[in-house]
């Protein structure tokens, strides 16, 4: 039990040190005035008891990529979020089916993986429905309600030759560039009730050069910020590439295995 806490603490400190060090690397787009980089600990495949241990050593922001798993953990640990003076936040970071939106808005403060208009609409609908039930005193509020709404990140593909997104390719369309699609989704997030656009999120292609991918993401973020100045967050960087992501302006890194240890092979 305690051994696990100490292990988590040591790994967490190492990652925090690495983030602090990367934050002073001004070789790409950061400078002295750049904001601090936030750390989200990705707890997928690890039990709620580990999340509790993380909380006990100061972690207040965790990320999950499957609703089935996340919703159970969040429910088990609701004393850490509801009416807690120093609440834990759950971010949803994985592929999301529209029919899971209803569940996700119950516990998530933000969704990092909005990659299509239909998902934005489903989240807005689920959020509004839950808010209506809350106001009719039939249910609890969506968790993000007390924070002013559900913050959404537009997930963009960072494949070099992905001129068309997967969905558009399937429809036989060439599609706009990723940046154009991202701007359209951002616009929608700004218009829909209960939601707002926080910025962009990206995962570099497997085997690709992370610097190139994160530079691309920074470019898309810059275009987004011209239109929506407050949508200035960049969710980028995982255990293997967080230094590169931070050099290229990441404002929030999503780190799993470097803190939690290796995940079980079966995913």
Instruction: Name the site residues for ligand PLP (rule: CB under 6 A).
Output: 42, 44, 65, 93-94, 203, 238-240, 254-258
What are the distances in angstroms from CA 184 to CA 75, 133, 154, 242?
34, 30, 10, 28
143 or 242: CB nearest ligand PLP: 242
Judged by CB, which is closer to ligand PLP: 199, or 256? 256
- H-assigned helices in the chain: 2-23, 48-56, 67-76, 101-107, 117-135, 166-170, 178-191, 210-227, 242-247, 257-260
**Residue in the shown chain whose Cβ atom is closest to ligand PLP:** 256
Q: Closest by alpha carbon to 41, among 28, 31, 50?
A: 50
Q: Which is nearer to ligand PLP, 193 or 240 (CB)?
A: 240
- Report the nearest approach of ligand PLP to the CB of residue 32 (Å): 28
- Rg, Å, the chain Cα set: 18
Least separation in angstroms between residue 169's CB and ligand PLP is 21
What's the CA gap between 226 and 234, in Å, rounded?
Answer: 14
- Residue where the block lists tokens 């909380």: 55
Shortest CB 240 distance to ligand PLP, Å: 6
Of 42 and 54, nearer to ligand PLP (C-beta) is 42
Closest separation in Å from C-beta 94 to ligand PLP: 6
Q: Which is nearer to ligand PLP, 131 or 242 (CB)?
A: 242
DSSP state at residue 36: P
Least distance in angstroms from the C-beta of 155 to ligand PLP: 8
């Amino acid at each position: 039990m305690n051994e696990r806490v100490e292990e988590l603490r040591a790994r967490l400190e190492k990652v925090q040190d690495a983030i602090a060090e990367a934050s002073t690397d001004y070789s790409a787009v950061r400078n002295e005035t750049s904001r601090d980089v936030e750390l989200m600990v990705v707890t997928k495949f690890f039990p709620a008891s580990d999340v509790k241990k993380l909380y006990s050593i100061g972690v207040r922001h965790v990320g999950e990529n499957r609703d089935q798993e996340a919703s159970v953990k969040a429910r088990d640990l609701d004393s850490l979020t509801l009416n807690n003076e120093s609440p834990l936040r759950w971010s949803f970071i994985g592929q999301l089916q529209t029919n899971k939106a209803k569940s996700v808005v119950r516990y998530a403060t933000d969704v990092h993986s909005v990659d299509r208009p239909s998902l934005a609409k489903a989240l807005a609908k689920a959020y509004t429905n839950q808010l209506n039930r809350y106001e009719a005193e039939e249910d609890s509020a969506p968790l993000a309600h007390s924070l002013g709404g559900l913050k959404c990140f537009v997930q963009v593909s960072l494949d070099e030759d992905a001129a068309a997104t997967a969905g558009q390719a399937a429809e036989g369309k060439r599609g706009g560039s990723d940046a154009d699609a991202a701007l359209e989704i951002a616009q929608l997030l700004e218009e829909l009730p209960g939601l707002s656009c926080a910025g962009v999120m990206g995962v570099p292609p497997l085997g690709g050069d992370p610097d190139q991918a994160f530079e691309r993401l920074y470019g898309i973020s810059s275009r987004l910020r011209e239109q929506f100045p407050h949508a200035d967050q960049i969710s980028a960087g995982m255990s293997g590439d967080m230094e590169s992501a931070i050099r290229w302006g990441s404002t929030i890194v999503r780190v799993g295995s470097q803190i939690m240890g290796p995940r079980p092979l079966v995913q």
